[in-house]
Structure 1
Amino acid sequence: MSPEAILADAIERALVRPRTRPLVIGLCGAQGSGKSTVAAALAARFPHTVVLSLDDLYKTRGERAALARDVHPLFATRGVPGTHDVDLGLATFAKLDGGQATPLPRFDKARDDRVDPAAWPIVTERPALVIFEGWCVGARPQDDAALVAPVNALEREDDPDGIWRRQANAALAGAYQWLFARIDWLAMLRAPNWERVLGWRIEQEQALRASGAHGAGVMSDAEVTTFVSHYERLTRHILDDMPGYADLVLQLDEARGCVAVRGADGDIQ
């Protein structure tokens, strides 16, 4: 079965139960794992569904520039915890839960900046289902000892004292956990390994370039490799850590096919 079919079976059973607020499915997957495609397929299958992407909660370029100036230069690059507007995410969930008219944040990756809020789509009634998808949705922080040794050249050369990675880890341990606490059920699309994640991300950017997109956020293959280095530490941690607590783990092969399923016994509570 495809990842969306496996998830759809569980969601269908869950949606027959009465609820006072939307069912929130957390969908975690490394870059290029297909989580956005899966989320879109589920939204098309189930009426009254909202898809909220963690990527659409990125702070503006100006806000990240301020972080780069005041905390560490690497925070200019979107990606790690600390570069998202968690308060915006919490406020969005609160409005969806309350059935209020809810603007859904949007981020333009080609421009590397937030879309003008006047152009955000608006949900006018309480949804039955919210799919909250993102590369580190539901992630837990690392132990302090794991932060000592750099995992790649970016960390060795640009974060030799570990300031950036400790700050990102502290952010993940803090407000991000409040945001992830709204998830009712966490599913993971588990990539085969880090090397495949890098390959998938390069393929994504090649498709973006082929679409004719242009702007500050459009990258060459070499720039993608440097960019993805910002994600490597936490991605490797999630690949090792999340299978131990996610409700459902869908193991992917290199073609993004599901080759094994671990975790939940079938029902979303």
Structure 2
Amino acid sequence: MANCEFQKTIDTLMAREGLPPGYGNTVASIIVPLVEAIVALQKRHRRSVIIGIHGAQGTGKSTLTLFLRELLQRHWQCPTASLSIDDLYLTRAERQSLADQVHPLFKTRGVPGTHDLTLGNRVLDQLLSASPGDSTPLPAFDKAVDDRVPEAQWPVFEGPAKVILLEGWCVGATPQPESALARPVNKLEAEEDAQGQWREYVNQCLKTGYREFFGRLDWLVMLEAPSMDCVLQWRRLQEQKLAQRHARAAKEGNRAGGSPELRIMSDHEVQRFIMHYQRVTEHCLRVLPKRADVLIPVGADHFMETPIWNNRS
């Protein structure tokens, strides 16, 4: 019966995410061993643990996080909360203020400096200190309207969590040497950050608040993208799926009248958008594979490959 229930969970999640049949093998060979390792880690520490899940855009980190959370909760009796660093983005108004005060490029969400780390730390503190009966609201960000969801609509995690999953494209990112900031890495930096003020501010954020925030992780799992070209291709696919999802919702009458204007990006806009992420993404691809506790290469076919376990302690 337990095996039937387990398979039902897998089938339901795969259908929900629109995954190919072959993903079932990924679950058995990669995700289940990772679940077991996280459970063992939590039992050794005898406290709540925070697991970071890093991956460039489109690597499948949100899907991996979903499977880990559902399997841990449903089949390993391990209460698990999940939080995306994307849901900690500053509001549009806050990013506009940052753009006005520091650099115009900060109007675009994404890079270190555009997250509310005070909020993130508060949520982690609440989850770590929660008792039975406590409720922890988890922030939510709507990328289709490029703004934070009103707090009254945030999902709520009930009770204490044994495992907290923190996923995001820059989770675990480290600063670059100052000398690396001098040369632009793309057209955006060359033309719109010629003096380097934007990238220097981003790097300073990684040296300070983000270092402390990521320092709370007990483990870092990295989904390693094969190249920036793949990241661009996968990010375009994400935007197309976002547009399709909202089109279906509109057709079914699920969008309320007077809702904010959707901000779905064209392929050209995605290409410019990705340039904001390129420097930090490429730096992560160079340095994080050796720092991650678990490294999972992702092939150009989008499937996860055999993990490299750098730390099981």
Aligning the two structures, in what range does the TM-score lie when normalised by the shorter sequence?
over 0.9
Structure 1 stretch 51-60 or stretch 91-100: which is displaced more? 91-100
Pair member with larger Rg: 2
Equivalent residues of 1:189, 1:251 under 8 A apart? yes
Structure 2 counterparts to residues 119-138 of structure 1, below 5 A: 119-138=153-172
1:19 to 36, 42, 46: 46
Match of 1:35 in 2: 61
The two structures have a TM-score, normalised by structure 1, of: 0.95
Question: Aligned partners of 2:262 and 2:158: how far apart in 1?
Answer: 33
Name the aligned partner's letter for residue 174 of structure 1: T
Question: Aligned partners of 1:37 and 1:97: how far apart in 2?
Answer: 24
Give yes or no for the alignment of 1:179 onto 2:213.
yes
The two structures have a TM-score, normalised by structure 2, of: 0.82
The structure whose residues are more often helix, as a share, is 2
Which structure 1 residue ranges, 5 or more long, are not aligned? Answer: none
Cα deviation, residue 34, structure 1: 0.2
Question: Aligned partners of 2:100 and 2:269: how far apart in 1?
Answer: 22
Question: Aligned partners of 2:95 and 2:227: how far apart in 1?
Answer: 29
Equivalent residues of 1:198, 1:225 under 8 A apart? yes
Write out per-residue CA displacement over residues 80-129 of structure 1, whole angstroms, 9 at most, x where no aligned residue.
00000000001111111111531100000001000001111222311111
Write out per-residue CA displacement over residues 34-63 of structure 1, whole angstroms, 9 at most, x where no aligned residue.
000000001110111111000000000000
Cα deviation, residue 12, structure 1: 3.0
1:8 to 32, 35, 40: 35
Matched residue count: 266
2:193 to 123, 136, 159: 159
Write out per-residue CA displacement over residues 173-197 of structure 1, whole angstroms, 9 at most, x where no aligned residue.
1101111111100010000011101
Match of 1:45 in 2: 71
1:87 to 111, 118, 123: 118
2:297 to 232, 244, 251: 251
Question: Aligned partners of 2:262 and 2:98: how far apart in 1?
Answer: 18
Structure 1 stretch 9-18 or stretch 105-114: which is displaced more? 9-18
Write out per-residue CA displacement over residues 132-154 of structure 1, whole angstroms, 9 at most, x where no aligned residue.
00001011111101111000000
Give the % identical residues: 44
Which structure 2 residue ranges, 5 or more long, are not aligned? Answer: 1-24, 74-78, 248-259
Q: Looking at both structures, which has the greater relative contact order when contacts are Cα pairs under 8 Å and sequence separation is at least 6?
A: 1
Cα deviation, residue 245, structure 1: 1.0
Name the aligned partner's letter for residue 138 of structure 2: L
Question: Aligned partners of 2:200 and 2:169: how far apart in 1?
Answer: 19
Runs of 4+ in structure 1 deviating by more than 6 angstroms, as ranges, are none
Give yes or no for the alignment of 1:215 onto 2:261.
yes
Are the structure 2 counterparts of residues 120 and 178 from structure 1 closer, same or farther at C-alpha, using a change threshold of 3 Å?
same
Give yes or no for the alignment of 1:105 onto 2:131.
no
Question: How big is the alpha-carbon RMSD for the aligned residues of Structure 1 and Structure 2?
Answer: 1.5
Name the aligned partner's letter for residue 208 of structure 1: L
Name the aligned partner's letter for residue 90 of structure 1: N
Question: Aligned partners of 2:200 and 2:309: how far apart in 1?
Answer: 31
Question: Aligned partners of 1:59 and 1:18: how far apart in 2?
Answer: 33
Structure 1 stretch 98-107 or stretch 148-157: which is displaced more? 98-107
Match of 2:100 in 1: 69
